[in-house]
Each structure stands twice: as C-alpha cells, then as structure tokens.
Structure 1
Amino acid sequence: MDEMGLQLRSSLGLFAFAAIAWILGPRKRIPLVLFGGAIGLQFAIAFLLYSFSPTRAFLQSLTQFVQLLQDATTAGTSFVFGYIGGAEPPFLINPDGPQSLFIFGFQALPMLIVLSAISALLWRWRVLEFVVRGFAFVFRKLLNLSGAASLGAAANIFLGMTESPVLIRPRMPQLSRSDLFLIMTVGFSTVAGSVMAIYVSQLSGVLEGAAGHIVTASLISVPAAVLIARLMYPPDGDAGEDESDEKIPTTIYQSSMDALTTGVTDGVKLFVNIIAMLITFIAIVTLVNFGLDAVPDISGEPLTVQRILGWLFAPLVWLAGIPWSEAVDAGSLMGLKTALNEIVAYDGLAGMGEALSPRSRMIMTYAICGFANFSSVGILIGGLLAIAPSRRADILQLAPRALISGTLATLMTGGVVGALPMALFQG
C-alpha cells in the first residue's frame, strides 16, 4: 500500500480509537466540539513544531542537549564506577569479542538522577512553572477543562504521573471522578522529563532527532488523553467544576539546595525502581518463554510471549497505520510496553532493524511513548493514595480503566503521526 493509503488508514484509525473509548464508556452523546478540538490540536502541535525552522531547530538541539547530559553524567559515573561507568578500561579489549562495554544500568540510567535534580532546580527557579502555566492555559481554553484538570494535565508533560498531582493536592479531595480519571489517563499517556533522555539514548542511531520526537509525543498525547478520558468517563451534568485558573503552590521546595537534594533523592528512587522492574519482569517473561518451549512451533517459529503480544496488538497498530506485514512485529512492541514498560519496548524497537520501515518506526516511537503498563498502575495508585487518601475507593476503581485509556491515547498519537506525510518529520 502506498503512503497515501496508509495515511488515510491512520486518519480513520483516530475515529476507531475514539469509538473504542466510547464503547467502553457509558456511551453518552459524543462531545463533537471536544473531539474536533482535541484532534485538531494534536495535528496543529505536530505541524507547527516541524513546519517552521526555529521550532524544528529547537527540537533538533534537544538531542545535542541529551548528548551533553550523557557526557556530563559519564564524568560522574566514571569517577564512581570506573570503566563500568564509562571510563577507559584498564585492559585490552579482545578484538574477536564483543566490542561494547556499554552497561545500561551504570551508564544510561544514572541520567535519571541528574535530570531529576535539574528538573527540581528549574521548578524552584520557576522556569518549569512558567511553561506549565502556559500549557495549562491553552488546555483550559481549547479543551474546556477545569483549572485543576488543566494544571494536572500540563504538569504531566514534564513531571511524573505521581509528581504532577502534587500541584493540585488541595483540590484532590473535591476533584470529580471524571477529572480524576482524566489526570490518570494523561499520566499514563505521557512520560516524565526525567526519563526522556533514557529513550533518546536507546534510539540513538535509529531515529534522527529522537529527543524532539519524544518531547513532541508527550505534548500531542495530552489532547488525545483528554478526548479518550472524556469518552470513557464523561463529566456529570453538575460537574462543570471550577473553570478558574489554578494556583501553583510555591512551597514545593524551600530553597535551591532543597530542590537539588530532593531531586537527587527522587531520582535515586526512580533509578532503583526501574532497575528492579526490569530485572523482575524480564526474568518473568523469560520463565514464561521457557514454559512455552513445550508448545509445538507455530508457522515454523517457537511460541513466545513476544509473538502472543504481537498477535493481540497487531489490529490496534494496524489501525494506527502500520502495514499488516509489519503489524505483528510492531504489535509485539506495544505488548512489551504494556506488559513490561516502555524502556524494554524502545530497546526492542532499536533492535528490529529492517523489520520495520522508517514510517513504522516513527509511528511506534510515538505510540510507545507513555507510562501505560501494568507496573505503573501500582505506582500510580500508591502515589495518588499518598496525596489523597480520602479518594481511595475512586483511585482503586479508576486506575485499571485508566491503563486502557492511556494506551488508546498513545495509539491515537501514533495515528496522528501516521496521518501526516513522513517528509514533514524527515525533511
């Protein structure tokens, strides 16, 4: 199928994902204004960011910033860990052996700690606050959100899904179930700024300007998440809620040193949590694959968790615009992202080589970019219960459904990219 046909399918896929969300909800009247506004805003953000030289240059410079961040982090890890942290090895490398001494846990993941500290400082210095306020204003006006919902949604672009609700902690007890579900959905369909650099390091050499695409994906997933959340859990008639602007608390950090140390502490928690999840879930998948070895080969290949997930998600990625010949491979990435996490999925994407076309790799880069996975459900529940213990019943009931809505939102984001000419992103 030519590119025009695939673009058309991606466009139709947007309606399909919205229809799935509507079917899973109470099936109330579709908010046509919100539907048009959310889809239009997604296309507008992608088009504006990549159509103009200044914004395109800014997105491309982000990859250079990530490289600088990696070099700075390597200076620290080399001092602490020696050659396993990136320093020169004190021995000769066997020319016939593996040439890479790159160790993910000691050289890539420590960027989480550094970036977490930098993000905390930028928040203390009110740089991130200014940006979040701007996005919150846009979302409140264009997507008709309450002040608390718009602020929570905007903060998710830069903060984690458990950190952003802290900004609206005073409003959490009174927040409607619809807005609570919306904030959960946005949290699952975006990624925190502290982990973006990890994805960029994984996609280095696979996707040009990877940092810009990761940031763009997190941006355009917000309108998709709002639409999907409103279709699956629309507001009640009396939940017009406060439409005024929401004040951002000014006492998150008491000083720059408090921001720096707190950011480091938060980064270490995230660092350890990711390592533990990667070890555990990869081990579980491997154990399941060992068990599946007893099953006869299917179509000449052994049955694995990856193949099963590929079959399950193949129709969904096909709707996003992936050719059917590549749908099982692309679907396995979406499945790994849901069952494990996006780090494993991006690692799989980087290792697929020619199995996916450049267009399919671009779509999957956007479709994978989100925290919608099973382990994140527990993280989200724990974080929200600490902030709003009075909403325990609502949080426990809504979180599993938000996993579905967050997945649909990132698939819609992939569909938006697929509906646009690839020359827009590659030119």
Structure 2
Amino acid sequence: MRYLISICGLLLVFGLALLMSKNKKEIKYKNILIMLIIQFLLAALLLNTKFGYVLIKGFTNVFDHLLSYASTGITFVFGGLANEGEYSFFLNVLLPIVFISALIGILQHFKILPFVMKWIGLLLSKVNGMGKLESYNAVASAMVGQSEVFITVKKQLDKISPQRMYTLCASAMSTVSMSVVGAYMTMIEPKYVVTAIVLNLFGGFIIVSIINPYTVEESEDILKIEDEHKQSFFQMLGEYIMDGFKVAIIVGAMLIGFVALMDLINSLFDMILGVSFQDILGYIFAPIAFLMGVPWADAITAGGIMATKLVTNEFVAMISLGEVAKSMSAHTLAIISVFLVSFANFSSIGIIAGAVKGLNERQGNVVARFGLKLLYGATLVSILTATIVGLVI
C-alpha cells in the first residue's frame, strides 16, 4: 500500500508539471525516463548499499575535517563567547561558511572548479537532452551558489532566450551551494544531504523538461565560461572570505527575523483560533506529504515543516524539524530531510532575480516575471526527490 501511495505521488508531480507545460509536443519522454531511472538507481546506491555508505561516510568525513579546521579560526576570534557546553547556532553552523567560501575561492582561482563543472556538465548534456549551457549551469549552481553562478556565464546572458533563462534559474533554485552543505550536515543527517544534492540535479532537468521543453540548436549550443577578473591570490582570498562572512551574517539576520515572526504569528493564531499558524499550514500540506510516502500519523507535522521551508527558508525549516525529529518515524525523517535540501522558497525568487538584474537588467526583469513559476517548478523537484527516497528506503 505504501508503494502504491508513493507511485500516486510521482504521478501527481508529473501531472502538475504537465499542467504548466508550454509545449507538450516537444517533451523528450525518453530522456526523462532515463533520468528517472538514474535517480532511483542513485537513491538505492546511496541509501541501501555498503558502497553508498562508504561514499557518504567519506564525503561526511571531509566536511567534518573542514568544519574542525573552521572551528580553529572561530575559536580564535570568538573563544569564550559561548558558555562551555552550550551550543551556538551562529558559531557552529553559520560561521564555518566563511572557511568553506575561502576554499571555493581557491579552487576557482586555480581553475580546478571550472574544469570539474564544465566536464561534468558536458557529460550530463548527453543524458538530459539539453544544451551544454544548461548542464554546466546546474553543476555550477551546486558548486558556487544560486546567485554567483550567473557571473560565470555573464558573457552569454544577453543572448539567452527566456525559455533557457527559466531552465538556468530553475536549476539554481533546485540545488544548494557547497558553501552551506557543511551547515546542513550539522542540522540533518549527512546521508540525506548528499542524496538530495545528487537527486535534485537530475530532478531539476526532469521537471524543467516537462514544464519548459525546447530544443537547442547546434549553433546556439555554445558554452562560454567567464574567467575571474585578474586578481592576485590574496586579493581573491580576501574577497571570498568577505563573501562567506556576508552570507553567514545575511542568513543569521534572516533567521532572527523569520524565527521571531513565525513565533509571533503562531502565538497570535493560537490565541485567536486555538491552533498555530504552522499547524494550519500542516493541514494544507499534509496530503502532499502523505503522497510523498509520509505516514498519515506524521503528515500534518511534516506538512507544517514543508510549508515553513516554502514561506521562510530551509534553515528555519531544519530548525523546526530538529524540534520534532524524535517524535517522527525514521521513514518520515528521511523524506522530509531530503525535501528540505534545496533553495526552493519565496526569498530565492528575489535573490536570483536580483543577481541576474545586477549583470543584465533586461534578463533580470524576465526572471522576475516568471518568479512564481520558477518556485512552482523547484518545489516539484523537491517533492519528486523526496518521493523517490520514500520509495527506495
């Protein structure tokens, strides 16, 4: 019965994507089927095999070491700020982003990251039936972030059609950047973070192939990666360190505002209606959670966390998940954890539109116009990934 419900969930995802499709005749069903099979195989490999365990364990160990190195710098500057034995979200989760950002800058500076992104993107383009630019962009978004990725292709922005811009932006919203992966791993199980990153990459292509199908002409399928403007090593390093610190501060400020507002709204709803705002959202999203494979006993709570992520951001939702995780089944925890690992929320519309507009005003206005459709598609990607995980575990 559980499998039948999840299959219905998959059909719902594809049905909702088809509902918004601009040109159903151009949908490449063969490529979609291949990518869906790849998703199932990767989910099974990562979550159900010893090889997947070893792979994720190795990935986790790398980030554990990186976080320990980051802790050295944080302790040097902020040592004694937190009481001994106390946990500080800002110090333990957000500030390590500064160090990870510095590492990304070093990999960019020595052309290691651009090389990896380009060739993985070219390989993916053979599978997804899309252009080289779209494939590169999806990989690059997962490496450098949803706003920074557009800097690497700014030479081509002015010539990109609205259809291709939708694909680029949807990929950016469906993934997460490596700079925050370490932060996620301190909040939810690392295996779900890794699984979500990999599955979302293909899920983004699947949903976009349905909602926004098109064919890229050979003459248009050119990939021009923008080189970083010439800087000395230490100029670059200082810039990336400051960028990482800005991200940590911005995320921290958003969390202060969103968590406080959510608490206020919950209190007001509880006083007036006798039920919290998150509980109401939970009832709205509960059927979707149920079709993703969440048992009905957990569906309302899970639905509230899903909605929290949509209206605020994934960090707020992960905090909410941590508060109720012990009351959930392991099956529910896996599904919802995977669902949360993406940038699919309302604030991302403004982030992406603003990033593109800073590079090309005309294209920024184009992105702003299809903002809600962008969020719609990225949310379907998260639901698709979570449903697949629910079927596999």
TM norm structure 1 = 0.86
Q: Does the 8 A contact of 2:21 with 2:210 survive in 1?
A: yes
Matched residues in 2 for 1:242 and 1:262: separation?
36
> Is 1:381 matched up with 2:353?
yes
Q: 1:394 aligns with which of 366, 384, 391?
A: 366
Cα 1:18–1:408, aligned 2, differ >3 Å: closer, same or farther? same
CA positional deviation for 1:36: 0.6
Q: Distance in 2 between matches of 1:327 and 1:27?
A: 34
Q: Choose from 241, 249, 253 the match for 2:226.
A: 249
Return the offset for 1:241. 6.0
Within the candidate set 15, 26, 34, 1:19 is matched to: 15
How many angstroms apart in 2 are the aligned matches of 1:381 and 1:44? 34
CA distance 1:354–1:226, shift in 2 (3 Å): same
Q: State how many pairs are aligned.
A: 392
SS in 1 for 2:22: coil
* 1:141-173 CA-partner distances (Å, limit 9, x unpaired): 101111211111111121211111222111111
In structure 1, distance between residues paired with 2:115 and 2:44: 24
Correspondence list, 1:14-413, <5 A: 14-26=10-22, 28-29=24-25, 30-50=27-47, 53=50, 56-84=53-81, 89=84, 100-203=85-188, 207=189, 210=190, 212-235=191-214, 239-240=216-217, 242=219, 244=221, 246-251=223-228, 254-297=231-274, 303-413=275-385
Cα distance, 1:245 vs structure 2: 5.5
Displacement of 1:8 after TM fit? 3.6
Q: Which runs of 5+ in 1 are unaligned?
A: 90-99, 298-302, 423-427
Q: Does 1:416 align with 2:388?
A: yes
Structure 1 pair 101–356 and aligned structure 2 pair: CA distance change class (3 A)? same
- Over 3 Å counting, the alpha-carbon distance change for 1:216 and 1:241 in structure 2 is farther
Q: What is the SS of the residue equivalent to 1:314?
A: helix
Q: Distance between the aligned counterparts of 2:230 and 2:267, measured in 1?
A: 48
The Cα of 1:370 is off from its aligned counterpart by 0.4
Asked whether the equivalents of residues 270 and 277 of structure 2 are also in contact (C-alpha less than 8 Å), the reply is no
Shift of 1:329: 1.0
- Asked if structure 1 preserves the Cα contact closer than 8 Å seen for 2:23 and 2:213, the reply is no
Instruction: Letter of the 1:368 partner, please give it.
Output: L
Rounded to whole Å, the distance in 2 between the matches of 1:318 and 1:159 is 34
CA distance in 2, matches of 1:258, 1:416: 44
CA distance in 2, matches of 1:60, 1:66: 10
Report the secondary structure of 1:157's partner residue. Answer: helix
Structure with the largest fraction of helix: 2
Contact 1:84 1:106 in 2 (8 A): no
Distance of 1:341 and 1:106 partners within structure 2: 19
Deviations 1:253-278 (A, max 9, x none): 63432332121121112111101111
CA distance in 2, matches of 1:387, 1:44: 38
Rounded Cα–Cα distance in structure 1 between residues aligned with 2:222 and 2:47: 30
Q: Which runs of 5+ in 2 are unaligned?
A: none
Q: Distance in 1 between matches of 2:141 and 2:230?
A: 18
TM-score scaled by length of structure 2: 0.93
**What amino acid sits opposite 1:290 in the alignment?**
S
Structure 1 residue 40: deviation in Å?
Answer: 1.8
Residues 22 and 232 in structure 1, CA contact (< 8 A), matched pair in contact too: yes
CA deviations on 1:317-354 (whole Å, 9 max, x unpaired) are: 22211112211111111111111111111122222133
Q: Which stretch of the first structure deviates more once superposed, 136-145 or 70-79?
A: 70-79
Q: CA deviation at 1:215?
A: 2.4
Q: 1:11 to 1:132 in 2, by over 3 A?
A: farther
Structure 1 pair 240–16 and aligned structure 2 pair: CA distance change class (3 A): farther
Match of 1:93 in 2: none
Instruction: Assess if the C-alpha contact under 8 Å between 1:292 and 1:304 holds in 2.
Output: yes
Report the Cα offset of residue 194 of structure 1: 0.5
Separation (CA, whole Å) in 2 of partners of 1:378 and 1:59: 33
**Aligned pair in 2 of structure 1 residues 242, 352: CA closer, same or farther (>3 Å)?**
farther
How far apart, CA to CA, are the structure 1 residues paired with 2:90 and 2:138? 30
Q: Retained in 2: the 8 A contact 1:8–1:419?
A: no
Q: What code does the residue aligned with 1:226 have?
A: F
Q: Find the aligned partners of 1:365 and 1:312 in 2 and give their Cα distance.
A: 19
